[in-house]
């Protein structure tokens, strides 16, 4: 039986707003991030879910908790495999600062993309087995979601052209026979209170709202 996994990126933090790399550093949501999580929860309320599972990092856990409360579900279970990619000594820096300090892209202590994908895949497999044939919200991080999206649909989420925005929703069916996720929807909900919002309203930008 297949399990539907709905991956949600956490809401905004102050480091997101400052364009600083967070990685494994535990930076909490700011007020905009909480509003984004609440807005995404409203949209997800149109679907049925059995559980919420979250990264142990507070920005993702709080996002998951906001969603769980709205859905009438218990507080999220946590799984360390959902934590953000570790960026080693790049954490706390901007992309410009990283390029200046590490011009050859050799950042000490940074988790490789292959290692990230391996643990993300293993983690999603565990969640899919635990909630077999169910529907689960997974509150996690941008690099984790990007790795899973690109594994399911190569080239879909290019780092430079396709941002994984705060509060965005990406839905997958887990295929137990091939041990991989099949991309169902590549959604991009933008909260109208976000500074990055374009001219469209939240409803116009969000495919979930239009369904």
87-121 pLDDT, tens per residue?
999 999 999 999 999 999 999 999 999 999 999 99
Task: Please confirm, yes or no, whether 10 is among the known catalytic residues.
Answer: yes
**Catalytic residue (choose from 12, 62, 79, 84):** 84
Distance CA 165, CA 9 (A): 7
Would strands 3-9 and 77-78 be described as parallel, antiparallel, or unpaired? unpaired
Q: DSSP string of 92-143?
A: T-BHHHHHHH-TTS--TTBPPHHHHHHHHHHHHHHHHHHTTT-EEEEEE-HH
pLDDT tens for each residue of 46-64? 889 999 999 999 999 999 9
Q: CA-CA distances (angstroms) from residue 21 to 16, 84, 87, 103, 170?
A: 8, 11, 8, 16, 22
Query: Out of 17-31, 32-46, 143-157, which region has the weakest mean confidence (pLDDT)?
Result: 143-157
Query: Are the C-beta atoms of 175 and 181 separated by less than 8 Å?
Result: yes
What is the pTM for the complete model shown? 0.86
Compute the C-alpha angle 203/166/134, nearest 5°. Answer: 80
pLDDT classification of 185: cutoffs 50, 70, 90: confident
177-194: burial string, b at 16+ Cβ within 10 Å, e else: eeebbebeebbbbbbebb
pLDDT classification of 196: cutoffs 50, 70, 90: very low
Q: Which domains does the chain have, with CATH numbers?
A: 3-210 (3.40.50.1240)
Q: Spell out the residues 6+ positions from residue 27 whose beta carbon is closer than 8 angstroms to its own.
A: 13, 14, 15, 58, 59
pLDDT averaged over the chain?
Answer: 86
**Who has greater pLDDT, 155 or 148?**
148
Task: Please confirm, yes or no, whether 192 is among the known catalytic residues.
Answer: no
Nearest to 170 by CA among 157, 187, 156: 187
């Amino acid at each position: 039986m297949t399990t539907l996994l709905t991956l949600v990126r956490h809401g905004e933090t102050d480091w997101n707003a400052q364009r600083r790399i967070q990685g494994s550093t535990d930076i909490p949501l700011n007020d905009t991030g909480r509003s984004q999580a609440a807005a995404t929860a409203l949209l997800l309320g149109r679907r049925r879910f059995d559980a919420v599972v979250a990264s142990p990092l507070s920005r993702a856990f709080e996002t998951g908790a906001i969603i769980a409360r709205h859905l009438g579900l218990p507080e999220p279970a946590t799984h360390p495999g959902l934590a953000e990619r570790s960026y080693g000594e790049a954490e706390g820096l901007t992309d410009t600062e990283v390029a200046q300090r590490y011009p050859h892209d050799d950042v000490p202590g940074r988790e490789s993309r292959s290692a990230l994908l391996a643990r993300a895949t293993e983690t999603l497999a565990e969640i899919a087995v635990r909630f077999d044939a169910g529907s689960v919200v997974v509150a996690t991080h941008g690099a984790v979601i990007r790795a899973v999206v690109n594994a399911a649909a190569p080239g879909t989420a290019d780092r430079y052209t396709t941002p994984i925005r705060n509060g965005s929703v990406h839905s997958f069916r887990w295929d137990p026979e091939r041990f991989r996720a099949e991309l169902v929807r590549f959604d991009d909900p933008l909260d109208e209170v976000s500074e990055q919002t374009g001219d469209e309203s939240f409803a116009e930008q969000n495919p979930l709202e239009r369904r």
